[in-house]
Amino acid sequence: MADDLKTVLQKYAEKSCQDDDLDPEDKDVFLVSAQKCLENGETDSETLLREVSNTANAGFMCEVGWDLLPVVTPFLTAGKAPDTVQQHCRGVLGALAEVCKPKEFVLGILEKLEGLEDDNVFKALLTPLQRVLQRLTGKRAHCIGLTLTTLHSHLTEIPLPSKNKPQDPEDESWRQFGVDMKDKHVGRLLDTTEALLEFVQPFVQMARKDSSIEAAMNKEELKDLEVLRKELVKFLTRLFKYPLVYLNLEELPVKEEEETPGTEETGQTQEPQQNRCRLCAQTNMSYLQALDPSFSRLLGLCDHYCGPPDMRAKRKTKSADKQQEGEEKTEEDDGKEEASLLGLCCFSYLLFVENICVEKLPAVLSHEFLGAIHIVLICEVLKKPHRPVIHKGLELTKKLLGNLEPFSLSYEILELQPFAVLPESLIHVMVNCPTKSLRKLAHDQFTAYVEKFDWRGRYQLLRGLMEKTEGHAGVMGLIIGKVKDQIDTCLKDDPPSDWFTGNKLSELLRKILHLPDGATTDLLDNRDWIMPALNLLRYLVIRDKPDQNQTGVWTDWPDVEKGFLRQLRTGVNLSKSHFQEELKKTRLKQKNTNKPEVQASIEVAGDKMPDMPYEQQIMVLESSMQMFSVIESLLGRITEVTETYRTGEKPQGKIYKRETDWKCSDFHAAEDDKDAVYMTCPCCGEKTKMPPGFEPPKPGEELKQFDIELGPPDDDLQYL
């Protein structure tokens, strides 16, 4: 076979002096024999390599390279040929890259790369591709851009690290994304990303900002350089967008892991903890910095998003004739920009949170500006379902908010829609994200965000949120809690702000002290709303005396009494008697039957759920009864306080006795009972023994109706 090869080459060498054209027949013979050489194994493949690299054959190779490419590449597939042959194949490609017509060869390689699944081939093609691109002269930006797009699309074919574990709120394993080398995809992702970063390095070098080089360039060259920079920045942000934003880019804590015998085999734990993802990110950032020394281009892109979005989308300054063509183009552009939101977010995360390259950021930009230009990004990012992405978004929010002083944002900025949307996005995380730590982080950022505004801004934010999340009891409860905080802070000012007292407050209270379906409202469903609402009311009546009426709550008291408290009392009584009845029935049934009897069957996705045992049913009913009692006691407390104001003296006995036969004192612990559960009573703050059958909370578990939303009983002390 090798002989055939030599014959053809010999023939060509003689001919080439007179004739440039290559005989198609000779070409075919060459290609067939090259194929056979590779199939035959290392000696023949070595001959091929030698012939291809032979400078005497350069002319021939230049002609035939485009066709030789598809012959060689299949041999690079993992396991297809012996290592040495593959080595020779790579050599052949490298040699071809030196002699072939650059543009043609680039296209040839790109064609091969498209739809390629094998990483081995992919990586083998990178080096010749890099070389041949470097050989390009004149306008190369476009060609490089095209290449980078193709290369990145190969990367996006590799799936993200998988996650098998069910969604446990305490599960923090997502933090291991990209660090956990046991995951089969991580290795591929990182290998490829690293290879690409290496690939792009000479081009970054070529395009790095250097005024002395630029000075020597002509206009055309400068323009090409500018385009090249743009392409490179685009590619680098794409690497952020996929896969880096999905991986853990934090510095790994320095710790000795002893419980990981599995990783020892891969040799990971022998070195000091190195986060390869982070290294990639660092390299990427340093490239970006070389291209765009003060990050003005990237920050400008962020800024671009912050303009009022409706305006950007609709209005175009296009004269009529250009209109159609232009519109298509911008639409396409918009699509691309949209896609790189994640990339920009990752960039900002690295810059501000991980402080990578932050020293290059101009130290004159204002904190307000930096916050503002990220707001749209953050809103978008928080909507994503990936925890590492949400985590980055939240951390970025934390960092940017942390730089602002309280009261530093004016309500007027809420006229820009994204500023009003950010808290919605945070709430979205709080409600929907399965991971507890992220929900908590989102909650903290929500609180922090509200506090950056002036009073009017705070009012508008909270009121706007009520408008938007109306009906979701939990969210209402959260907002009500914040309203209470605001009132409390506001009353410490002299004079207190108009926005959390008087008319404005009573507008809020009308929204808060409201039962969606009057007395027949499902109290169980709405408890997360009703409890904080009652708690707020209790706070108000205790904090603000009728003769002062600082908050204006007393102005509307008749409405509150009629429209809310009275209905709630009826509601509680209705629910209590209903549940009492239910409880009696169930207890009776439990007594009479040993086996659980089927009352109703519940089906979830076609599967029948097991019936609830009677003990559990009783427990559920009892805890509901508990909840009603707490509502009652809060109601009682409020009535007691208002009654005192009205009559001028503290009423004798507990006033809520009138409403119900339940007394909190019934549960107060006389002495410690080892088996009983004790909790703080919401109405008097005393230690209270829980009824038998009450399941004690697990350590760390929050019991909403008792601990969380009700606030400290200290409020009462001011009154008593």
Region 436-455 residues binding other proteins, contact defined as CB under 8 A:
none
By beta-carbon proximity to other proteins, the closer residue of 315 and 608 is 315
- Select 319 or 548, whichever has its Cβ closest to other proteins: 319
Closest approach, Cβ 467 to other proteins, in A, equals 7
Binding mask 488-527 for other proteins (x = CB under 8 A): ----------x---xx---x--------------------
Question: How many CB atoms within 10 Å of residue 213?
Answer: 13
Cα distance between residue 609 and residue 617, in whole Å: 14
| Residues paired with 678 in a beta bridge | 689
Contacting residue, 358, 431, 574, 708, with other proteins by CB under 8 A: 358
How near is the Cβ of 320 to other proteins at its closest, in Å? 10
Interaction residues for other proteins, span 242-301 (CB under 8 A): 293-294, 296
* Beta carbon nearer to other proteins, 366 or 594: 366
Q: Which of 29, 279, 413, 574 touches other proteins (CB under 8 A)?
A: 413
Residue 407 lies near other proteins (rule: CB under 8 A): no
- Which lies closer to other proteins via its Cβ, residue 138 or residue 308? 308
Which of 149, 201, 403, 623 touches other proteins (CB under 8 A)? Answer: 403
SS3 of residue 517 by DSSP: coil
x/- string (CB under 8 A) for other proteins, residues 300-329?
--------x-xx--xxxxxx------x---
For the chain, report the end-to-end CA distance as a whole number of angstroms: 105
Task: Look at the block and give the residue holding tokens 């699309």.
Answer: 153
User: What angle (nearest 5°) sits at the alpha carbon of residue 666, between those of residues 660 and 667?
Assistant: 115
Q: Which is nearer to other proteins, 505 or 630 (CB)?
A: 505
Instruction: Show the tokens assigned to 293.
Output: 């020394």
Handedness of CA 74, 75, 76, 80 (dihedral sign): positive
Q: Which of 18, 137, 270, 366 binds other proteins (CB under 8 A)?
A: 366
- How many chain residues touch other proteins (CB under 8 A)? 45
User: Cβ closer to other proteins: 507 or 666?
Assistant: 507
Q: Which is nearer to other proteins, 365 or 574 (CB)?
A: 365
> Rounded to whole angstroms, how far apart are CA atoms 474 and 137?
63
Member of 62, 365, 448, 542 binding other proteins (CB under 8 A): 365
Q: How far is the CB of 51 from other proteins (least distance, A)?
A: 48
> Helix, strand or coil for residue 410?
coil
Give CA–CA dist 460/475, Å, rounded: 16
User: Whole-number minimum distance, CB 506 to other proteins, in Å?
Assistant: 8
For residue 651, say if its preceding peptide bond is cis, omega within 30 degrees of 0: no
CB burial of residue 69 (10 Å; 0-12, 13-18, 19+): buried
Separation in Å, CA 353 to CA 337, 357, 358, 622: 23, 11, 9, 48
Closer by beta carbon to other proteins, 352 or else 656? 352
| Residues 463-482 as x/- pattern, contact with other proteins by CB under 8 A | xx--x---------------
Q: How far apart are CB 103 and other proteins at their closest, in Å?
A: 31
| C-beta of 34 vs 462, nearer to other proteins | 462
* Residue 399 neighbours by CB distance under 10 Å: 19
List the structure tokens of 571.
């509601």
Residues in the chain: 720
What lies within 8 Å, CB to CB, of 711 at 6+ separation is 484, 535, 539
Contact pick of 405, 493, 666, 695 for other proteins (by CB under 8 A): 405
Q: Helices in 41-167 by DSSP H: which ranges?
A: 42-53, 58-72, 83-99, 102-113, 119-135, 141-156
Chosen residue from 171, 368, 395, 488 binding other proteins by CB under 8 A: 368
Contacting range for other proteins; rule: CB under 8 A; set: 275-283, 352-360, 562-570, 591-599: 352-360
Minimal distance in Å, beta carbon 326 to other proteins? 8
In the list 43, 84, 324, 355, the residue contacting other proteins (rule: CB under 8 A) is 355
Q: Which is nearer to other proteins, 153 or 555 (CB)?
A: 555
Q: Which is nearer to other proteins, 366 or 647 (CB)?
A: 366
Q: Least distance in Å: CB of 521 to other proteins?
A: 23
Counting Cα atoms < 13 Å in the Cβ hemisphere of 368 gives 9
Q: Which amino acid does the sequence have at 508?
A: L
Residue number, 314 or 674, with CB nearest to other proteins: 314
Contact 354, 250 (CB under 8 A): yes
Q: Which is nearer to other proteins, 483 or 531 (CB)?
A: 483
Nearest residue (CB) to other proteins, 173 versus 355: 355
Residue with tokens 């944002």: 409
| Alpha-carbon distances of 365 from 372, 374, 384, rounded to whole Å | 12, 13, 29
Shortest separation between residue 29's beta carbon and other proteins, angstroms: 56
CA atoms within 13 A on the CB side of 254: 1
Of residues 132-151, which lie at the interface with other proteins (CB under 8 A)? none
Nearest to 131 by CA among 88, 102, 90: 102
Contact positions with other proteins (CB under 8 A) in 195-234:
209-211
**3 state SS of 679:** strand
**Residue labelled with tokens 């020892």:** 264
**Contact status, residue 683 vs residue 663, Cβ threshold 8 Å:** no
The closest of 496, 391, 410 to 456, measured between CA atoms, is: 410
CB of 310 to other proteins, least distance (A): 7
Are residues 109 and 65 in contact, defined by beta-carbon separation less than 8 angstroms? no
Task: Closer to other proteins by CB, 5 or 421: give it.
Answer: 421
Q: How far is the CB of 317 from other proteins (least distance, A)?
A: 4
CA 639 from centroid of its chain's CA atoms: 46
Q: Which residues bind other proteins (CB under 8 A)?
A: 209-211, 293-294, 296, 308, 310-311, 314-319, 326, 330, 355, 358-360, 362-369, 403, 405, 412-416, 456, 460, 463-464, 467, 498, 502-503, 507
